[in-house]
Structure 1
Amino acid sequence: MSFAIIGFGKVGQALAKAFARSDIEVSVATTRDPESFASEVAAIGPAIIPKKLADAVKADIIFLAVRFESHREVAKALPTWQGKTIVDVTNAYGVPPEELGGQPSSKVVAHAFTGGRLVKGFNHLVAAVLGQDPAVHGGRRAVFLSSDDDSAAAEIGALAEKLGFAPIPLGGLSEVGLLVQARGNSWGRLIFKDLVKFD
């Protein structure tokens, strides 16, 4: 199983730190040349590999950590995303609902990544919190996951566990999953909630 993070802003770097803590190799890419951010990658750890976008998208599981407006550009990197799981870490805050055709933002992203299995997740925490060790006071920081594909949600849940988080499944994108999706100028009710699960 191979992993990639597309986008290396604050959220992309926070995700990279999570992989580095668990010593799980992950490639990172942007639309820029990988040499332009290689020093920042090296500072995080040896498990983080800078790559060109065309190479990073060969991974099995891809974290989409770009601005919502950039998702269509990334989706053009492959003619089909068949066999891949996309983790939608974007937030469509400020995007008028009419631009989304009245659909939840993750449905719009899923439509762009033709053939891929989409899981909404890791987007409800601010980057500064997401980048911290998820082991908190003897518990694990929660990450909410929603998907219309139960097996894809389970796959990302297992990965979240390996990264030290406590995955909380929310069901389908258009139902409870709306709790972690921004709509217009309002945030989903679970966004910014920093919760800890104790086993």
Structure 2
Amino acid sequence: MNYAIIGFGTVGQALARAFARQNIEVAVASRRPPEALAPQAKAIGPTVVPTTLQEAIQADIIFLAVPFEQHREVARSLANWQGKTIVDAMNGFGVSSAVVAKAFPGARLVKGFNHLAARTLATDPRVQGGRRVVFLSSDDEGAAAPVAALAEQLGFAPVHLGKFEEGGALVQARADKSWGPLIFQDLFKQEA
């Protein structure tokens, strides 16, 4: 299994730190060339590999950490996303991840890692005798399982909220410019 993060702003870099902490290789790409990302990637760790967008979209699991209005531009990079799992880590006001899923034909889409502020997401998820929770939702039951397994590997405690319009609505920005009740909640799961 290989991984990529598309978007290397604060959220993309926070996700990269999670991979680096566990020595898991992850490709990072943005609209900037790989050499422009190299200094930040190197500062995070040797497993963070700057690459082109075309190389990054070859990964099995791809974190989408771009500003919401740029997701369609990324989606046009590939005609068919069959076999890819996209993790929607964006926050678009009033738009369900079901809309994002339509932009990536053939992909399995999971909403996740979006409810934590980037500075919190960047820190070690093992705190206070437990692990920081990340919420996941998907209309594809099987898509959430490998993302949950990866979240565990990264040190997080995944909590599956169900489908986008059900539990997923708890962690999305709403049309009235307000947030779902679980967004920005920094919750922990105690170790047994």
Output the amino acid matched with 1:141. Answer: R
The residue aligned with 2:111 is 120
Aligned-partner Cα distance in 1 for 2:147–2:37: 27
The residue aligned with 2:134 is 143
The residue aligned with 2:190 is 198
Q: Aligned-pair distance for 1:105?
A: 2.4
Q: Aligned-pair distance for 1:149?
A: 1.1
Q: State TM-score, norm by structure 2.
A: 0.97
Aligned residues, how many?
Answer: 190
Q: Tell me the alpha carbon deviations over residues 144-166 of structure 1, each in whole angstroms, 9 at most, x when there is no partner.
A: 00001111111100000000000
Q: Aligned-pair distance for 1:111?
A: 0.3
Q: Secondary structure at 1:145's aligned position in 2?
A: strand
Aligned-partner Cα distance in 2 for 1:74–1:109: 11
The runs of 5 or more residues in structure 1 that have no matched partner are 98-103
Aligned-partner Cα distance in 2 for 1:137–1:174: 32
Q: Aligned-pair distance for 1:74?
A: 0.4
Aligned-partner Cα distance in 1 for 2:67–2:179: 16
Aligned-partner Cα distance in 2 for 1:19–1:131: 10
Q: How does 1:90-109 map to 2 (within 5 A)?
A: 90-93=90-93, 97=94, 104-109=95-100
- Whether 2:131 is the aligned partner of 1:170: answer no
Output the amino acid matched with 1:188. Answer: G
The residue aligned with 1:101 is none
Q: How does 1:1-199 map to 2 (within 5 A)?
A: 1-93=1-93, 97=94, 104-184=95-175, 185-199=177-191
Q: State TM-score, norm by structure 1.
A: 0.94
State whether residues 17 and 44 of structure 2, in contact with CA within 8 Å, keep that contact through their aligned partners in structure 1. Answer: yes
Q: Aligned-pair distance for 1:8?
A: 0.3
Q: After the TM superposition, which parts of structure 1 deviate over 2 Å for at least 4 consecutive aligned residues?
A: none
Q: Tell me the alpha carbon deviations over residues 130-150 of structure 1, each in whole angstroms, 9 at most, x when there is no partner.
A: 000000111000000000111
Aligned-partner Cα distance in 1 for 2:101–2:172: 14
CA RMSD of aligned residues (A): 0.8
Aligned-partner Cα distance in 1 for 2:178–2:122: 24
Q: Secondary structure at 2:100's aligned position in 1?
A: helix
Q: Aligned-pair distance for 1:32?
A: 1.2
Q: Aligned-pair distance for 1:183?
A: 1.3
The runs of 5 or more residues in structure 2 that have no matched partner are none
Q: Aligned-pair distance for 1:177?
A: 0.8
Q: Aligned-pair distance for 1:108?
A: 0.9
Over the matched positions of the two proteins, sequence identity in percent amounts to 64
Aligned-partner Cα distance in 1 for 2:172–2:76: 23
